[in-house]
Amino acid sequence: MRVTTKGQVTIPKPIRDLLGIGPGSEVEFVAVDGGVRLVAVNENLSEEEKSRRFSDVLDRMAGTLDLGGMTTDQYMEWLRGPREDLDVD
């Protein structure tokens, strides 16, 4: 992507669609760990639209985590380490 002399870039259509960015939309650029994150400001969305978008994201994430046959509790212990504050017999 190339920056114009006016400091403008074109946000690719798949990204605009994913974030619900259209003409007149507000966006923010947030500096993160040596890079930048584009954030759509969705303050005017209805609760139904926010919920629908959240569900869409969850649907796209479904099946992307392979726990290797571990239960949720086993995965959490693997991830965090054993809990010392619990009595395990």
- Burial track 29-49 (b if 16+ CB lie within 10 A, e otherwise): eeeeeeeeeeebeeeeeeeee
Residue 86 lies inside a defined structural domain of this protein: no
Residue 24 lies inside a defined structural domain of this protein: yes
Residue 31 lies inside a defined structural domain of this protein: yes
Residue span of the structural domain in which 36 resides = 1-44
Overall domain count for the chain: 1
Residue 22 lies inside a defined structural domain of this protein: yes
CATH number of the domain bearing residue 24: 2.10.260
| Res. 42: pLDDT tops 80 | no
Residue 49 lies inside a defined structural domain of this protein: no
| Res. 87: pLDDT tops 90 | no
Banded model confidence at residue 4, pLDDT cuts 50, 70, 90: very high
Banded model confidence at residue 71, pLDDT cuts 50, 70, 90: very high
Residue 61 lies inside a defined structural domain of this protein: no
Banded model confidence at residue 89, pLDDT cuts 50, 70, 90: low
